[in-house]
Amino acid sequence: MAERNVWRNPRRTLLTESMAITLVGSAIGTALGILITSYFQTQGIAVAGTTNILRQYGIPERVYPRLSLFSASVGPAAVPDVPCPAALNPVPRVRRLRPVEALVQG
């Protein structure tokens, strides 16, 4: 029964699959980004070989990135803008295929 519903509305199926993958990847990426930025926020980032250049402009040898709610939320909020339209691309082809043909074609 579930197999039949997939082929009746492929747009919903493809969008659901795409959004699920996008949301999981975005959550994992955001969590890793927050952890890594939090570490460098306390330790700083030293760029080798740039001491003289940085001194000329009054920039310290170590750069300390800042993590804000804005920077941690804008990227993940914008991520679904690409996968949603991209997931709609194969819908016409999926509608023409029968389930057995789709399995054979991979």
Contact 21, 102 (CB under 8 A): no
- Of 77, 47, 80, nearest to 62 by C-alpha is 47
- Domains of the chain, by residue range, sit at 2-37+69-105
Q: What tokens does 10 get?
A: 């492929």
Residue pLDDT tens, the chain, 106 long: 455 555 567 778 878 888 899 889 999 999 999 999 999 999 998 888 888 888 888 888 888 899 899 988 888 888 888 887 887 787 777 777 776 766 776 6
Identify the pLDDT of residue 29: 92
> For residue 48, is it left (φ>0), alpha (ψ between -120 and 50) or beta?
beta
The pTM is what?
0.68
